[in-house]
Structure 1
Amino acid sequence: MNIAKILLVDDEVNFLSIMEKRLSARDMGVVTADSGKAALDVLEKDPEIDVVVLDVKMPGMDGLDVLRAIRSGHPLVEVIMLTGHGTIETAIDGMKNGAFDYLLKPCEIETLMDLVRQAKDKKDIHEEKIIQAQMKDITGRMGV
């Protein structure tokens, strides 16, 4: 059973391939996208995505643009920003726009795994709260 379903987004195809293999070997369900637009398309088609690991520097839509779109259209999906071109300002922007956390490339796979688990736990807690609120609403309307 997969620990989490991850969408890896990076314009570096070799990096995507290596990370997909490394994360899959650790019982993660992994889907990849090589651009921001492709990532948003995957999210529209796959409601099972728990966590997006998102490169900041990409041509076209950069990571911050993609992050804003994810927060708008898929608010429960957690996003971990990943970049080889990290700056404090970019990290702050990512966190202000709702990123779960931020890592610099290359990162230790175990560090990434820990963050993915934490992000998945946060998503699960939010989903459970929503279900509880919906149940309370339904039972309230039924007079139970």
Structure 2
Amino acid sequence: MFEPLQLLVVDDELDFRETLAQRLRFRGFGVRAAADCHEALAAMARQPAQVVILDVMLPDVDGLDCLARIKKQWPTTGVIMLSGHASITAGMQGIAAGASEYCLKPVELSGLVEKIHIAHAEAGVRS
């Protein structure tokens, strides 16, 4: 039986988070969502996602710090960083800290789906 790839969307913008989660579910992914880093870590503790889509600007913890926490606990989880604010520095820091990709919002869904599969494949190679 086919098991869908499990994703966790972490973004404090409710409309963006819900819309993205719904669109990814429609594409066949298993998707859960969290509004901040603490919710994300709790969700990961309950059931680790294979790929996390993580906003850089979160209300409780900086996205780069959240990335470090996720990679420390779940090193084989792929992480894609998203930002509504163009920052080459944040993107480079995210990649250096273990993110597979850094994308600007709004993100094109077909491109994001491709990056999700790449992040999952790369994480499996690192395990």
* TM, length-normalised to structure 2: 0.94
How far residue 120 of structure 1 moved from its aligned partner, in angstroms, is 1.5
Distance 1:11 1:65 in 2: 15
Q: CA shift at 1:58, angstroms?
A: 1.2
Amino acid at match of 1:92: M
Note the residue ranges of structure 1 that are not aligned, 5 or more in a row.
128-144
The aligned residue for residue 95 of structure 1 is 95
State the 1:121 CA deviation. 1.7
Structure 1 residue 7 corresponds to structure 2 residue 12: no
| Structure-1 residue corresponding to 2:67 | 67
Q: How does 1:52-131 map onto structure 2 within 5 Å? A: 52-127=52-127
User: What residue number does 1:25 align with?
Assistant: 26
Which residue of structure 1 lines up, in the alignment, with residue 39 of structure 2? 38
SS of the residue 1:103 aligns to: strand
The CA deviation at 1:2 is: 4.7
Code of the aligned partner of 2:10: V
Partner of 1:141: none
Q: Which has the larger radius of gyration?
A: 1
| Unaligned runs of at least 5 residues, structure 2 | none
CA contact (8 A) 1:53 1:80 kept: yes
CA deviation vs aligned residue, 1:87-110 (integer Å, no higher than 9, x gap)? 000001101111011100001000
| CA offset digits 1:26-70 (Å, max 9, x no partner) | 0010000000110011111103x1000000011110210100001
Shift of 1:71: 1.1
Rounded to whole Å, the distance in 1 between the matches of 2:123 and 2:72 is: 15
Q: CA deviation at 1:4?
A: 1.2
Aligned partners of 1:4 and 1:116 also within 8 Å = no
What amino acid does structure 1 have at the position aligned with 2:95?
M
- 1:103-130 Cα shifts (integer Å, max 9, x gaps): 0000100000000011122233445xxx
- Runs ≥4 residues deviating over 4 A: none
Q: 1:44 to 1:105 in 2, by over 3 A?
A: same
SS of residue in 2 equivalent to 1:52: strand
The normalised TM-score by structure 1 is 0.83
Q: Deviations over 1:74-97 (max 9, x none)?
A: 101010000101200000110111
Aligned residues: 126
In 2: Cα distance, 1:20 partner to 1:61 partner: 21
